[in-house]
Amino acid sequence: MGDNQTLNLLITSAGGISGTFLIRHLLDHPIDNCHYNIVAVDSDEHSLARYMSPTFYHVPKCNDPRYEKVIYDIIIKENIHMIFPVTSYDTPFYAKHKNKLSSMGVKLLVCDSTTHELLHNKKKMYALMSSIGVPTPLVYENQGNIHYPAMIKACESSGSVGVHKLESSVDRQYWTSKLKEYVITDYVHGKEFTVDCLFDQNGKLIIYSTRERKKVHGGGVVISKKVETAEAVKEILKTLESHLSLIGPVNFQYILDENNHIFLTDFNTRFASGGLPLTIAAGNDIPNVMVQLMLGLPTNAAANKKEIFGLMMYRYYHEFFVEEE
């Protein structure tokens, strides 16, 4: 790669906590001999990304029929080289259109549509994990046999949306009447962890990093601690790598109960919504390793950077002021 090569990077759904962090991180920390020109898009015209990114476009929601043409027009106009899908809501679009985007000269690292659906839908995810031997909380198929407390989760949701603790059958009757499609599982009490991962274009695990979820707000972690990856988790990672077709950034959550048993509780085919900054600060710069992978560059130096165990992250609100007409 020549000196000072410019890469035009498109960040989607860029106004949220993950998108705004990616904008800041990539602008401030490009890989060697490279400059990033960030183009951000968001369906919210008042998105903070408008002021953080050098270039911003207000676009329709990703499930709007107009979205596809708008994105293609932006790709052509801005000569986009790489795309970073951010949320669970826009990932399906980019998974579905990977081949079209590739034909336009755009690179991205996302799972295929089938894999995304199997892991994004919580009922399908639990069934899949059970079939490959990954431990999960007990799933109740018969609502007459539920032991309380239990957990109910909307099958299609992100973060903590549609996730509720059931203390009794009264709670169950209430929430099952509110949720269209759901799954009910045992409630597992214990410490909560997230494992951030990166898989290359061939499904090889490149990076994994574990952190304890000390405090959570809206499904995203706001206080987190970098910890060593348990041997049992490493075995789960081997199982995921050998049985699934994972590509790009993914993360999963698990609970370690009082008997030191691990239960995988959630899986996302995207960047983690809260703890990615800690993973990067502790030694694993997933976004920049993605750039290296998409450029066909060696990644050993970045992936094997010494990790900082015990590093804590505290996230907080920060105000931004601008005069608008």
pLDDT of amino acid 96 = 95
Question: Tens of pLDDT along 68-79?
Answer: 999 999 999 999
For 143, which DSSP code? G
When the pLDDT of each residue in the chain is averaged and rounded to a whole number, the result is 94
**165 in helix, strand or coil?**
strand
Percent of the chain scoring above 90 in pLDDT: 86
Is the pLDDT at 92 greater than 90? The verdict is yes
pLDDT of residue 160: 65
pLDDT at residue 301, rounded to an integer? 46
* H or E stretch covering 215: strand 205-217
Confidence category of residue 120, pLDDT binned at 50, 70, 90: very high
If one counts every other C-beta atom within 10 angstroms of the C-beta of residue 95, the result is: 22
Does the pLDDT of residue 114 top 80, yes or no?
Answer: yes
Taken in order of first residue, the domains within the chain and their CATH numbers are 5-108 (3.40.50.20), 138-186 (no CATH), 189-314 (3.30.470.20)
- Whether a cis peptide bond, with omega within 30° of 0, leads into 277 is no
* % of the chain exceeding 70 in pLDDT: 96
pLDDT tens by residue, 180-235: 899 999 999 999 999 999 999 999 999 999 999 999 887 788 999 999 999 999 99
| pLDDT above 60 for 29 | yes
Is the pLDDT confidence value at 161 over 80?
no
pLDDT at 302: 47
Spell out where 89-187 has E strands: 150-154, 163-166, 182-186
| Residue, of 25 and 160, whose pLDDT is higher | 25
113-120 helix and 122-131 helix, angle to the nearest 10 degrees: 100
Q: Quick one: pLDDT at residue 325?
A: 77
- Residues 292-325: tens digit of each pLDDT: 999 999 886 444 568 999 999 999 988 999 998 7
At 156, the pLDDT band (50, 70, 90 cuts) reads confident
| CA dist., res. 73 & res. 75, Å (int) | 5
Asked if 194 and 275 touch (Cβ cutoff 8 Å), the reply is yes
pLDDT on residue 144: 81
What's the chain's length in residues? 325
Name the pTM for this structure.
0.94
Q: Extract long-range pairs of 122-126: CB within 8 Å, 24+ residues apart.
A: 122/153, 122/154, 122/155, 122/156, 122/157, 122/183, 122/266, 123/155, 123/181, 123/182, 123/183, 124/155, 125/266, 125/267, 126/183, 126/185
Residue 319 burial (C-beta neighbours within 10 Å; 0-12, 13-18, 19+): exposed
Calpha distance 264→10 (Å, rounded): 32
